[in-house]
Amino acid sequence: MIRVVVSGALGRMGQESCRAILDAPDMILVGAVDGTPKNNKLGQVLGREDIDIAVHSDLQTTLQQTTPDVLVDFTNPKAVFNNIKTTIDNRVRPVVGTTGLSSAEIEYLKKAAAQRGIGGLIAPNFAIGALLMIKFSAMAVKYFPHVEIIELHHDQKIDAPSGTALKTAEVLAEVRGKMHQGLPTEYEKITGARGGNYEGVRIHSVRLPGYVAHQEVIFGGSGQTLTIRHDSISRDSFMPGLLMSVRAVININELVYGLENLIFE
């Protein structure tokens, strides 16, 4: 059995993760952490009175007391780096769904994991469909180098653009290279109207109630356009990929960025 602790257990993704792990036949949820637990009984929060797990606020203590194999982190961009550093220092394998880590922070964590010989995963998105969207977009940009990204999320998301949009832009730029799109003399009458700019790829972030996680990659060519879109209608769309990740990191000895590196050849 794979022993798992969930950090950010009382958040929406954290609760969904706890339910998935509790129902997985090869996993056992041994601990739950949340920065400001309003209710320290996880079973009451999940509506499962048979679950007798207390929610604690201190990650270090929880890791030492529960001795997990894997930590799942769905917290926030301000906390995630220290959480994963603490996890690796305790020789626990991290599976990170929290976005907002900088490239420098990811590199630091990769080196820390390598020094301890443990595996882990930082995943901008656990939805298999979203990973296929990125893969298909990398194929398309070879033929349609003019491309923009629109990502749409719920209005409680802290960071913009999303980790998935950034990952998509990185992959597109790696395949296509940096280039300027649009009219060279264009200007914005309202700052930000043309979105963010990553190596010439424009990224537009929408935040509205009613959305979960959605993204479309729009390619333009002579007399035609191509749109590749993925929609997560509910948060359980992320759970098959999350459980796959928990199982996968047990058998690797490096910290990997992107679930696609574990499931696609």
Is 189 an annotated catalytic residue?
Answer: no
Pairing assessment for the beta strands 120-122 and 255-257 based on DSSP bridges:
parallel
User: Which helix (H) or strand (E) is 53 found in, with range?
Assistant: none
Which DSSP letter does residue 198 get? E
Determine the angle formed by the axes of helices 163-176 and 128-140, rounding to 10 degrees. 30
Contact 9, 55 (CB under 8 A): yes
Is 153 an annotated catalytic residue?
Answer: yes
Catalytic annotation, pick one of 41, 85, 110, 157: 157
Catalytic annotation, pick one of 78, 135, 153, 154: 153
* Alpha carbons 212 and 235: distance in angstroms, whole number: 7
Cβ neighbours, 10 Å, residue 238: 25
Q: How many helices (H) and strands (E) does the chain have?
A: 9, 12
Residues annotated catalytic, as ranges: 153, 157
